[in-house]
Amino acid sequence: MKPPMKNLNLFLFLLLVLGLHLGSVLSWKKEEFRNCNQTPFCKRARARKPGFCSLIALDVSISDGDLTAKLVPKTPDNEQDPDQIKPLILALSAYQDGILRLRIDEDPSLGPPKKRFEVPDVIVPEFASKKLWLQRVSTAKIDGDAAPSSIVYLSDGYEAVVRHDPFEVYVREKSNGNRVISLNSHGLFDFEQLRAKREGEDWEERFRTHTDTRPYGPQSISFDVSFYSADFVYGIPEHASSHALKPTRGPGVEDSEPYRLFNLDVFEYIHDSPFGIYGSIPFMISHGKSRGTSGFFWLNAAEMQIDVMATGWADAESEIALPSEKSRIDTLWMSEAGIVDAFFFMGPGPKDVVRQYTSVTGTPAMPQLFATAYHQCRWNYRDEEDVEHVDSKFDELNIPYDVLWLDIEHTDGKRYFTWDRTLFPHPEEMQGKLAAKGRHMVTIVDPHIKRDDSYHVHKEATQKGYYVKDAGGSDYDGWCWPGSSSYPDILSPEIRSWWADMFSIENYVGSTPSLYIWNDMNEPSVFNGPEVTMPRDALHYGGVEHRELHNAYGYYFHMATADGLVKRGDGKDRPFVLSRAIFAGTQRHGAVWTGDNSAEWDHLRVSVPMILTLGITGISFSGADVGGFFGNPEPELLVRWYQLGAYYPFFRAHAHHDTKRREPWLFGERNTELIRDAIHVRYMLLPYFYTLFREANTSGVPVVRPLWMEFPSEEATFSNDEAFMVGNSIIVQGIYTERAKHASVYLPGKESWYDLRTGTAYKGGRTHKLGVSEDSIPAFQRAGTIISRKDRFRRSSTQMVNDPYTLVIALNSSQAAEGELYVDDGKSFEFEHGAYIHRRFVFADGKLTSVNLATTSPGKSRFSSESVVERIVLLGHAPGPKSALNEATNQKVDIELGPLWLQWGRGSSVLTIRKPGVRIGDDWTIKIL
């Protein structure tokens, strides 16, 4: 069988590569991917009617601080399905801060054929210490039920209720009994227990030319989850779709697929689709005007499909009467394998839910400063000369950039950790030249390892038995860029540690400490595999089937690479690793991007909801390929993309190798100027961005936020995903159409907003029809905030470190404002030991005060900065004042009219305190006279 298969593989591979090259003219190959009807577990689950579940809860008690119970069928029918009647074990645990965890699994003492996979390494160790030990359970008959329910008090005014018959779990507010989130209220819970194969039964599943042997048979789990007092649900990335999730089933929905969570390498994905792409985060957030926000997270790495039901779906589908409630949103969650390990987050505010979720899965890593600046990438910068040319052009044209990226062609035949020595004969020298300007390089390292006996990585991995195995137990062999390849079994801690060691300067020959890493294709992508990925029956460490782990494969790879960079730097250098595949917890390991988008206006548009959704599900550091990966953007689209991308948390231009070169200087002087301006905006705002990255690092609250996160009671914001907030102070609205002359921009809240460029004030709480020019996209600073900027332009962010600051004070209707600034060495982990500056600037009663927010204690590291404040700009201040007083030194300084942006001196003048004579890290007060 083997040799012909190889030929077939080769043929398919060539076809695929050809397909890739034609990528810019062909579109998404729908038929290569399964839909729900072609996915038996999904089809089965979707066909069930409300009231299907016949389980009841028995033996409810408290044990080890948890509420435990058994779930058994109400009327066991032994003859029909003897394997499906073994009791399931349920455990409910409460945690501080309004978090409930629900676990349901088979009973190990009843000898199931195999232990089902529980995803390790996602829940942060600190979470265990938040557990509240339940002491007591009470019982009551609720709402006229014949059978009792068990009730436990959680925390923060919430109770968990386990209804015995029919089985249901929900959380309610103790004070008024209002429900927040519930599971199995519609009786759609189903748990396919592992069992012995029956005579004549066929467990194999076929899709196109692939057969999944499914040695353990059906093992899927599904259930309904309802969110109460909800107007919208959000989350469950990654999809190229709207931020507020559209219903996929029920009245008014025509034939939609559920939202699919299955990490896939989808070339040229289409926008506005529930189809699964590179990442999977099974975390959904609901939000409504009347109560606020709640969240539900299912820690499970198998393929998942999620339906969002339209109001009235149950009436349409059920023969039994179900309670219908207008402001409830029902959802159906279906997974191919694993266990139920679910978390309910009670909010009640949007930021509370994000904090609760990231207390389980971790907050985003703090990036190095350089990583928050602009990145220049292309598949591929050809050789050292090309690199040098691009690098020097940025300098010549006064465009800052921080990182130059090398894609797969820099390697010796797609053998990662090697260099094509003809094209890149002096990699260390090349990196050294960039480093001398404070710049960095990123190279790509994918998980597919070329099966070539002379390649040291392959040799070692083979000898040590470190590859994922196929269903027959041999090293799994699939096709990717290098041809025949195998994949490290990165689930194993030993293999992760081996992988991490690859990144040491000695092992990665030609690397230097200023080189960082890009992990691509880690879904994993397998060109000749089913749905372009690894077969589900492939085997991992500990006998785990690939189907159970699939969505977390890339996560482990990202983790091991980031660990490798930490090791390389002796624990002193923050890693930077960009990953395409995503899972819950990815935020701890680095940045992500939204994969292979296209140079189309719709893709520019969808990048915003995609980034917003990633942000609220923990992944703060994300961006889309600026310019669009496939195709050649018109200069206008490219410029608009830079103008928007300058506000993405991760700001990188990238392009497919078949596209025309598109560095910022290739579209005429005017477009170069516009792109330069856009990049300058990002550099000016770096102190603000860096402060937001730190906020995300401590609280989980994303750098870029949907409007509803900042204005949770304003309905007009709930489904607005054309605009977004950068932190709490800036709103940005993209321009998503050609030759736009006007834009309708909704400015939320009661306070005014100041145009970022002109300082012109606009009233909040209404939609403004604004004139738009090619110069910029609409962006405004919220009244009542203070933003820190650095207005001098250097070659890279590292060269701006000692530059002076500009503080922009946007006064609200009470002539007050406040803002924060966080600064550290931008590189090491010393900030974790207290080496940082954290200031709060408060403007009130005509005085600006800088207050220390950093906690200092003896023995802590310290960080100081010589940087001074060179300008303080006052927006919205009554005209008139001529001078200000530095109260500490008793020195008077002038207030004059000056440009809002030094670089673009044109336009209106604003009140400016020049050279107030204060250092950024000190306590001081400046009084307007």
Tell whether residue 778 is a contact of ligand NOJ (CB under 6 A): no
**From CA 590, how far away is CA 620, in angstroms rounded?**
9
- Give least dist CB 660 to ligand NOJ, A: 15
- Give least dist CB 657 to ligand NOJ, A: 8
Residue 259: CB atoms within 10 A of its CB come to: 25
Name the residue nearer to ligand NOJ (CB basis): 300 or 485: 485
Name the residue nearer to ligand NOJ (CB basis): 625 or 714: 625
Among positions 438-457, residues that touch ligand NOJ (CB under 6 A) are 444
**From CA 380, how far away is CA 444, in angstroms rounded?**
11
- Give least dist CB 381 to ligand NOJ, A: 12
Q: What is the largest CA-CA distance in the chain?
A: 93
- Give least dist CB 520 to ligand NOJ, A: 5
Name the residue nearer to ligand NOJ (CB basis): 350 or 595: 595
Tell whether residue 650 is a contact of ligand NOJ (CB under 6 A): no
Name the residue nearer to ligand NOJ (CB basis): 279 or 362: 279
Tell whether residue 408 is a contact of ligand NOJ (CB under 6 A): yes
- The neighbouring-strand residues paired with 191 are 221
- Give least dist CB 656 to ligand NOJ, A: 7
- Give least dist CB 415 to ligand NOJ, A: 14
- Give least dist CB 4 to ligand NOJ, A: 29
**From CA 881, how far away is CA 153, in angstroms rounded?**
58
Q: Which two tokens stand for residue 51?
A: 């009231």
Q: Which two tokens stand for residue 557?
A: 């790879």
Q: Which two tokens stand for residue 670?
A: 């005017």
Name the residue nearer to ligand NOJ (CB basis): 258 or 595: 595
Name the residue nearer to ligand NOJ (CB basis): 629 or 836: 629
**From CA 249, how far away is CA 439, in angstroms rounded?**
50
Among positions 627-646, residues that touch ligand NOJ (CB under 6 A) are 629
- Give least dist CB 580 to ligand NOJ, A: 6
Angle at which helix 493-501 crosses helix 553-568, to 10 degrees, equals: 50
- Give least dist CB 286 to ligand NOJ, A: 32
DSSP secondary structure, 143-163, as one string: TT-SS-EEEEE-STTEEEEEE
Tell whether residue 238 is a contact of ligand NOJ (CB under 6 A): no
Q: What is the dihedral of CA 158, 702, 271, 285, to 10 degrees?
A: 0
Name the residue nearer to ligand NOJ (CB basis): 477 or 520: 520
Tell whether residue 523 is a contact of ligand NOJ (CB under 6 A): no
Tell whether residue 268 is a contact of ligand NOJ (CB under 6 A): no
Angle at which helix 686-699 crosses helix 669-684, to 10 degrees, equals: 50
Name the residue nearer to ligand NOJ (CB basis): 246 or 657: 657
10 Å CB burial of residue 43 (0-12, 13-18, 19+) is: middle
The strands making up 753-755's β-sheet, listed across from edge to edge, are: 704-705, 723-726, 730-733, 779-782, 753-755, 761-762
Cα-Cα end-to-end distance for the chain? 88
The answer to whether the beta carbons of residues 351 and 701 sit under 8 Å apart is yes
Residue 269 identity (one-letter amino acid): Y
Residue 524 identity (one-letter amino acid): P
Residue 836 identity (one-letter amino acid): Y
Angle at which helix 384-396 crosses helix 427-436, to 10 degrees, equals: 10
**From CA 823, how far away is CA 903, in angstroms rounded?**
24
Name the residue nearer to ligand NOJ (CB basis): 447 or 784: 447
Contacts 24+ apart (CB under 8 A), 838-846: 838/694, 839/920, 839/921, 841/786, 841/788, 841/807, 841/809, 842/816, 842/817, 842/818, 843/786, 843/809, 843/811, 843/815, 843/816, 843/817, 843/818, 844/815, 844/816, 846/815, 846/927, 846/928
- Give least dist CB 8 to ligand NOJ, A: 24
Name the residue nearer to ligand NOJ (CB basis): 381 or 647: 381
The answer to whether the beta carbons of residues 761 and 753 sit under 8 Å apart is yes
- The neighbouring-strand residues paired with 924 are 850
Of residues 475, 520, 751, 820, which one binds ligand NOJ by CB under 6 A?
A: 520
Q: Which residue is nearest to ligand NOJ (CB)?
A: 379
Among positions 559-588, residues that touch ligand NOJ (CB under 6 A) are 580
Tell whether residue 595 is a contact of ligand NOJ (CB under 6 A): yes
# residues near ligand NOJ by CB under 6 A:
10
Residue 697 identity (one-letter amino acid): N
State the catalytic residues: 520, 523, 596
Of residues 66, 341, 596, 710, which one binds ligand NOJ by CB under 6 A?
A: 596
Tell whether residue 379 is a contact of ligand NOJ (CB under 6 A): yes
Taking CB under 6 A as the rule, which mask of x and - marks residues 125-144 in contact with ligand NOJ?
--------------------
The answer to whether the beta carbons of residues 296 and 181 sit under 8 Å apart is yes
Name the residue nearer to ligand NOJ (CB basis): 520 or 537: 520
Tell whether residue 407 is a contact of ligand NOJ (CB under 6 A): yes
Q: Which two tokens stand for residue 323?
A: 């309670």
Q: Which positions lie near ligand NOJ, rule CB under 6 A?
A: 379, 407-408, 444, 520, 580, 595-596, 629, 654
